A and B are shown apart, each in its own frame.
Chain A
Amino acid sequence: EVQLVESGGGLVQPGGSLRLSCAASGFSFNNYWMSWVRQAPGKGLEWVANIKEDGSEKNYVDSVKGRLTISRDNAKKSLYLQMNSLRAEDTAIYYCARGRGAHDYWGQGTLVTVSS
């Protein structure tokens, strides 16, 4: 059974940092692009970033470039999102999702709240 489990969310002050993790199981993690998608409270979905199977290509939405960094560890079957210089507008549920366009599996999401 394919499973994606996010962790690492929480309350952080503006300007602070947080590292999200996504543990994958039930499929060959190193054969898939992986993505992060977020959803601010009461708002729509927003694609954040994706990473190629071997980590050689990464793409980001303009609003997070230079502040958020996607990475992966194929040996640990894990996806990460390092979040620096956080702003109030980064407050959202963060989902990890398998794939690049067709996200056929999603995690349950982890809530990040940026507030003083």
Chain B
Amino acid sequence: SYELTQPPSVSVSPGQTARITCSGDALTKKYAYWYQQKSGQAPVLVIYEDSKRPSGIPERFSGSTSGTMATLTISGAQVEDEADYYCYSTDSSGNLFVFGTGTKVTVI
């Protein structure tokens, strides 16, 4: 089955830049989406279609892709950005979705 691989954890100091990677073979052809999930809450969409930001999401969140890797960048991370982040995409068929393994972002 298709898999999306993320680093388990990323640490960043307040005001610095955090980058979270997501690796998957089909990312060369399929969109990546990114979700933020804080403890005990439902996920929140922060990036869709590789690099688009939903309304209400701060500009410090950005997305990009290159080859088989998608990257979520938090520029000038804030304490409130501490959360688990998941990438999300489809397999090559476009019908079956999968979440990445998840990355815990710590802002300290």
Q: A44-B86, A45-B86 are in contact. Are A106 and B42 (CB under 8 A)?
A: yes
Pairwise interchain contact B31-A101, C-beta atoms closer than 8 A: yes
Question: What is the bound-complex CA distance between A27 and B48, given in angstroms?
Answer: 20
Q: A45-B102, A47-B97 are in contact. Are A62 and B42 (CB under 8 A)?
A: no
Binding site for B on A (CB under 8 A): 35, 37, 44-47, 50, 59, 61-62, 95, 100-104, 106-109
Partner-binding segment picked from B21-29, B64-72, B88-96: B88-96
Question: What is the bound-complex CA distance between A59 and B88, given in angstroms?
Answer: 16
Question: What is the bound-complex CA distance between A103 and B49, given in angstroms?
Answer: 11
B33-59 CB contact bits vs A (8 Å, 1 = yes)? 101010000111100110000100000
Pairwise interchain contact A47-B98, C-beta atoms closer than 8 A: yes
**Closest Cβ–Cβ distance, residue A84 to chain B (whole Å):** 21
Q: Which residues of B contact A59 (CB under 8 A)?
A: 95-97
Q: Which residues of B contact A46 (CB under 8 A)?
A: 99
